[in-house]
Amino acid sequence: MTTGNMCTKAVTTSAHRIFLINLTHPHLRTSSLLGRTAYKYPSDRSYIVSRALSFRIPACQFSPRRPITSPIARPHSSSSIMTTFYDLSATLPGGKPYPFSQLKGKVVLIVNVASQCGFTPQYKGLQALYEKYHEKGLEILGFPCNQFGGQEPGTDDEIATFCERNHGVTFPLMVKSDVNGDQSNEVYKWLKERKAGLLGLTRIKWNFEKFLIDKEGNVVHRWASTTRPEAIDKEVAKLLQ
Task: Exactly one of 7, 60, 117, 163 is catalytic; name it.
Answer: 117
Whether residue 117 lies in the annotated active site? yes
3-state secondary structure the chain: CEECCEEEEEEECCCCEEEEEEEECCCCCCCCEEEEEEECCCCCCCCCCCCCCCCCCCCCCCCCCCCCCCCCCCCCCHHHHCCCHHHCEEECCCCCEEEHHHHCCCEEEEEEECCCCCCCCHHHHHHHHHHHHHHHCEEEEEEECCCCCCCCCCCHHHHHHHHHHHHCCCCCECCCCECCCCCECHHHHHHHHHCCCHHHCCCCCCCCCEEEECCCCCEEEEECCCCCHHHHHHHHHHHHC
Q: Distance between CA atoms of 108 and 103, rounded to whole angstroms?
A: 8
CB atoms within 10 A of CB 216: 12
- All residues at 6 or more sequence positions from 195 whose CB lies less than 8 Å from its CB, including other chains: 211, 219, 221, 222
Catalytic residue positions, numbered:
117
